Structure formats: structure tokens, C-alpha cells
Copies of this chain bind each other. A is one copy, B any other.
Amino acid sequence: MSRIEIKNEYQLDAPTRQVVASLEIDTQGIGVTDMTEAIKAWIEKQGFRDGLVALLVMHTSASLTIQENADPDVHSDLTDALARIAPESAPWRHIAEGPDDMPAHVKSALTDTSLALPVRHGKLVLGTWQAVYLVEHRQHAHARSVQMHYVGS
């Protein structure tokens, strides 16, 4: 049997603020961009204490993921795995914008479009090896936008 235990319980400040901003990211084609430092900088600049940051990618051929931040091979392996799961060679109908377009939509559906991340005592809560990435699924460079919506104190 797996053990389950509840720990580290805290009462935080009541939610009294909402602040939004967008992260504008220029990608370089297929691959990941680490957004973690930009999100942390925004939290610090705004002086957020306790709350949730909801992230929403505004596109259907780029997406979000939380992944290992230590070994760049993880990012290459992830994009390779997605290319095997949704290959350009599959019999797609939606091909007007190029062979990488429909695979990009499928990869977006399989990864994350929306994330809700905790902020506690002024810090973004993430595991030691976690970072928040934008994943570009198109072959060419694109300008991408991620909405950040904070509800908290």
C-alpha cells in the first residue's frame, strides 16, 4: 500500500488582488524556452505574497509544460518523442500551412495549454528539478504570447 500523509499546512493571507500581464516570447522553431525566471521576476516585482498564477498560452501550435531543468537532453528527447507520437508523415487533412502545422496542433493538445501555479510567501512553488517551459511546435521562429493571471494577496 502506498502511504499518504498531509504535511506543511499553512494559513495564508486572504486573496485581495488580481494582476495580469503577458509574457512575450520569440521562439527559434521547434524546442523549449524556459519561462521560469521571467515568471519569478514578475512575482517579485509585483510583490505578490500568496496566491495562484494561472498561465494560458494564446496559440494552438505552441504549448506549456513543466519539465526537468537540469539536462538539455531531456528537452531534445521530449521534442523527439512528440515527433514520433504526431509525425509529419501521418495522413493529415489540414496541410495548407505546411507539414508541421497539424502535428503542432496535436502536440499542443497532448501537452498543456493552461497551468495554475502556487505562489507562497512571495515565491513561486516548484520542485527542485522543475521549470516552466513554452514549447514551440512549428519548424520556424514565432512570436508567442502567454497570459499570466494572478489571484492572491
Residues on A facing B (Cβ under 8 Å)? 2-28, 33, 35, 38, 41-42, 50-52, 54, 56-60, 65-68, 71, 73-74, 76-78, 80-81, 84-86, 90-94, 96, 102, 105-106, 108-118, 120, 125-130, 145, 147, 149, 151-153
Given A10-B19, A118-B147, A126 and B58 touching (CB < 8 A)?
Answer: yes
**Looking at the complex, which one of B12, B15, B84 makes contact with A90 (CB distance below 8 Å)?**
B84
Query: Smallest CB–CB gap between A119 and chain B, Å?
Result: 9
Query: Smallest CB–CB gap between A22 and chain B, Å?
Result: 5
Residue of B nearest to A130 (CB): B60
Residue of B nearest to A54 (CB): B116
